[in-house]
Amino acid sequence: MILDNLEPAKVWFYFEEICKLPRLSKNEGQIRQYLLDFADRNNLESKTDRAGNVLIKKPADPGYKNRKSVVLQSHMDMVGEKDAATEHNWLKDPIVPFIDGKWVKAKDTTLGADDGIGMAAKLALLSDKEIKTGPVECLFTVDEESGMTGAIQLEKGFFESRILINLDSEDEGELFIGCAGGMDTIADMPFAREEADSDHTVLKISVTGLHGGHSGDEIHKGYANSVKIMTGLLQLLTSKYGIRLSEFNGGNLRNAIPREAFAHVTCDKDYVDDIKKDAAEYLQKLNDEHSFTEEGIEITVSTACSVAYVIDHKSHKSLLNALDQCPHGVISWSEDMEGLVETSTNLASVKFKDNTIMIVTSQRSSVESLKEDIARRINRIFTENNATVHHSKGYPGWKPDTNSEILKITSQSYRKLFNTEPVVRAIHAGLECGLILEKYPGLDMISFGPTIKGAHTPQERLDIETTKKFWSLLVDVLNSIPVI
């Protein structure tokens, strides 16, 4: 085992076990079976619902039977991101964790600490014979990262507890009592194929080396968007050299700020050197603009093999116009809670498929009407540029309750354990709490976790010391749950 010298030992043991199991969104079969087998081995009651969510129950220990029941909740799936040059089969290959100073990281891929560490903590608790608690239910939901399907389809009455602790937060020392709601706006833009000029040179343009990041937690940090960068460069080259676009692929996931983008274009062979020079100057400008947020932006222009087609002039213009006009980043800040992003949008990905270009954007807001406003604005931009637009159903936010009983219990535990005051706040990222609250009105909820940096990128890393604090807090909170 790679992590067997870390504490708490059981948490790290189960985290490393989880790393061995492929578990991308909508492909949680292996981790689901692992959870059910774990329950059988430990003589614990378990069940699944139609969505594929799993519930494992730990009965109250002697002397704790009159305590209120608590449900611990985390999601099974993870975001699969890797650098373009890395070979990794997400349906078969394990995550390979390693220790780097104060962090646990993964070799060239996302680590899956979001939310593998939440699952690991629950498995450690369920299998520990020394920790005494009242009744605990552990809910493992599916498909959180790509649509929150598990929470959306969660059956009423699947669990019994009236207190929920979500283990999907990423900043130790902060207790979350609210989150933004979200939705996706997706544009499909048709195009016609035209024969590429046989005298033209084919160029591959690559934008790489960006930070990327979680489109909720890190949207306010000013990280560059590879799709926006590529769009600006293609517009420049179109206006100066009349390039023709054959393909444009950038970004991967709806909830990740895109780190890479690639395009194939054709141009008059006499312009190749000038295009390379302009690309280098464009890169210098980007480095000046993003000197505080990006360290490794790279733009490369290289000759490539022939392309099968170029897209028609009208679609070429419409695509670049729409991507240029499409907003990305913070739209507004909350007036109720200092430092909280109120509304944002993420231009997440551009993909060519058959004769259609699909553009995925995602919107978040703690105010439902503002979420819908920015979605409508994006709809208009793409509709006016010949695209067909549809919106996902979305998910609701979670309104903060500063009088929450579980908030008071958790705050007291934190002060007792660490002799400092926790920060109580809402989060701009989406949590499943809002959706679960719809099914279980009146549920008393809180969310906390260890420190995770770079979630949804290959730079994802999990802080070792805060994982120990996270575990201590969880155990103490469960020991402090009052009687019925």
Domains and CATH numbers, the chain: 9-180+397-479 (3.40.630.10), 194-352 (3.30.70.360)
Any residues with CB less than 8 A from the CB of 152 and at least 6 apart, and which?
51, 393, 395, 435
Instruction: For the chain of 484 residues, list the mean pLDDT of each consecutive stretch of 10.
Output: 94 98 97 98 98 98 96 97 90 96 96 98 97 97 93 95 97 95 96 95 97 92 97 98 98 93 97 98 96 95 94 98 98 89 97 96 94 97 98 89 96 98 92 92 96 94 98 98 94
Q: 28, 77, 171, 218: which is the annotated catalytic residue?
A: 77
Please identify which of the residues 28, 114, 143, 144 carries the catalytic annotation: 144
Cα Rg of the chain (Å, integer): 24
- Residue 77 annotated among the catalytic residues of the structure: yes
- Helix residue spans in 170-271 (DSSP H): 226-241
Would you tell me how many other CB atoms lie within 10 Å of the CB of residue 211?
20
CB atoms within 10 A of CB 401: 14
Q: Is 7 annotated as catalytic?
A: no
Q: What is the pTM of this model?
A: 0.79
CB 159 within 8 A of CB 62: no
pLDDT at residue number 458 = 93
What is the Cβ-side half-sphere exposure of residue 128, based on CA atoms within 13 angstroms? 19
